[in-house]
């Protein structure tokens, strides 16, 4: 079990004890665990198909500070899977739409919106204030950018990916902070995918097929990883990747090998 990342703040109010009564019954959580969730900051990159359920369940869980990075605006083709948004918000920034929904869901949560594109120039500054990074993007170029920055800064990274009716989830963390927290396996995205697959084999972005339910399932598993990191309970998907295939009705996980040489510079070999 790793050291909890969340800082346990002041005692819960009576209203908070009522709101979070059910999760506090979970073995390893309790009131201290919930206080740690409220003391955790999480940066979510992407407010689309994966980001929507991730953001809603992070807010529901009581993550105290959520940052949202997305440069896109909402269009009709998004609505079948991006359930944090609504018809009345078409044409608006997804960051703003998501922030309004979070505010309506849980007033305990502070939200910071970054309506911009993640780049090599801004990534370190964006990541630095946050405890946990969540990759809810839909292309490998951005995924590798996120992974390199998280590795450089020693931030834990929760990663998810969907295609068609299937998806994957894993957690990556390496560097001194990971070792201090007691992480048994230091691992990063490049250990799982050393290079991006060809786009004619694995399409990305708007060219990729996807059904709504898989984004909800994968996003929910991702939030489970975040809450385990924040509150310090359970077993993380470190060195393992979970696979979900709704078309085949399958859920399984696989252990993968890691390469120590990728842990030092924060850049793939």
Residues in CB range of 21: below 8 A, 6 or more apart:
none
Distance between CA atoms of residues 255 and 252, nearest Å: 10
Beta carbons of 111 and 66 less than 8 angstroms apart = yes
Distance between CA atoms of residues 85 and 96, nearest Å: 10
pLDDT exceeds 70 at position 201: no
Radius of gyration of the chain from Cα atoms? 18
**Burial letters for 110-145: b for 16+ Cβ neighbours within 10 Å, e otherwise?**
ebbbbeeebeeeebeebbeebbbbbbbbbebebbbb
pLDDT at 261: 40
pLDDT tens, residue by residue, 209-247: 899 999 999 999 999 999 999 999 999 999 999 999 999
pLDDT at 21: 98
pLDDT tens, residue by residue, 17-74: 999 999 999 999 999 999 999 999 999 999 999 999 999 999 999 999 999 999 999 9
pLDDT at 208: 80
- Tell me the pTM: 0.93
pLDDT at 268: 33
What residue ranges define each of the domains in the chain, with the CATH number in brackets? 14-263 (3.40.50.720)
pLDDT at 203: 67
What is the SS3 assignment for 54? Answer: helix
- How far, CA to CA in Å, does 59 sit from each of 4, 63, 66, 90, 124? 19, 6, 8, 22, 24
What is the SS3 assignment for 261? Answer: helix
pLDDT exceeds 80 at position 76: yes
- Residue that the structure tokens 């924040």 belong to: 230
Beta carbons of 155 and 130 less than 8 angstroms apart = yes
Beta carbons of 145 and 199 less than 8 angstroms apart = no
pLDDT exceeds 90 at position 200: no
pLDDT tens, residue by residue, 150-196: 999 999 999 999 999 999 999 999 988 888 888 888 999 999 988 88
Q: Is 6 exposed, middle or buried (0-12, 13-18, 19+ CB in 10 A)?
A: buried
pLDDT exceeds 50 at position 267: no
Q: Which two tokens stand for residue 26?
A: 């979970």
């Amino acid at each position: 079990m790793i050291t909890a990342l969340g800082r346990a703040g002041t005692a819960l109010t009576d209203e908070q004890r009522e709101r979070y009564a059910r999760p506090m019954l979970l073995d390893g959580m309790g009131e201290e665990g919930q206080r740690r969730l409220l003391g955790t900051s999480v940066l979510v990159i992407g407010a689309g198909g994966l980001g929507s359920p991730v953001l809603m369940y992070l807010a529901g869980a009581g993550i105290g500070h959520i940052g949202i990075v997305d440069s896109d605006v909402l269009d009709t083709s998004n609505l079948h899977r991006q359930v944090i948004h609504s018809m009345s918000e078409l044409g608006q920034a997804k960051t703003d739409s998501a922030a309004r929904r979070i505010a309506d869901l849980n007033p305990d949560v502070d939200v910071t919106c970054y309506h911009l594109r993640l780049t090599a120039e801004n990534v370190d500054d964006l990541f630095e204030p946050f405890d946990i990074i969540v990759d809810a993007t839909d292309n490998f170029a951005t995924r590798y950018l996120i992974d390199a920055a998280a590795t450089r800064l020693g931030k834990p990274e929760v990663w998810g990916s969907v295609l068609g009716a299937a998806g994957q989830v894993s957690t990556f963390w390496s560097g001194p902070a990971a070792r201090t927290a007691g992480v048994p396996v230091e691992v990063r995205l490049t250990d799982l995918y050393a290079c991006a697959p060809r786009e004619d084999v694995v399409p990305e972005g708007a060219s990729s097929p996807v059904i709504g339910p898989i984004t909800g399932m994968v996003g929910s598993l991702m939030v489970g990883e975040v809450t385990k990191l924040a509150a310090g309970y359970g077993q993380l998907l470190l060195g393992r990747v979970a696979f979900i295939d709704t078309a085949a009705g399958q859920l399984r996980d696989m252990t993968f090998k890691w390469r120590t040489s990728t842990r030092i510079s924060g850049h793939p070999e």
